[in-house]
Amino acid sequence: MQMKICEELDSKRKQIEHQRPVDDSWRLQREDRKRYFEANFKYGSTTVLKHNGQFFFQGDIKHCGTDNIFFNARKIKSMMEANGYTMGHMNYNDPPTFSSKWDWEKEEKERKEIYKDDLYKFVGDEIVVADLIGTEPIGHIYKDEPTDSEEADPVCQKNAESVA
Task: Give the pLDDT confidence of 23-63 residue by residue, as tens digits.
Answer: 788 889 999 999 999 999 999 999 999 999 999 999 999 88
**Domain assignment of residue 64, yes or no:** yes
**Domain assignment of residue 2, yes or no:** no
Q: Is this model's pTM higher than 0.75 or not? A: no
| Burial of 54 (C-beta count, 10 Å sphere; 0-12/13-18/19+) | exposed
Q: Does 65 score more than 60 pLDDT?
A: yes
What's the pLDDT score for residue 150?
Answer: 46
- Which pLDDT band, with edges at 50, 70 and 90, does 6 fall under? low
Average pLDDT over residues 3-27: 71
**Domain assignment of residue 85, yes or no:** yes
In which domain, by residue range, is 109 found? 39-163
- Contact predicate 96/76, CB 8 Å: yes
**Domain assignment of residue 45, yes or no:** yes
Q: Please, where are the H alpha helices in 23-60?
A: 25-40
Q: Domains in the chain: how many in total? A: 1
**Domain assignment of residue 27, yes or no:** no
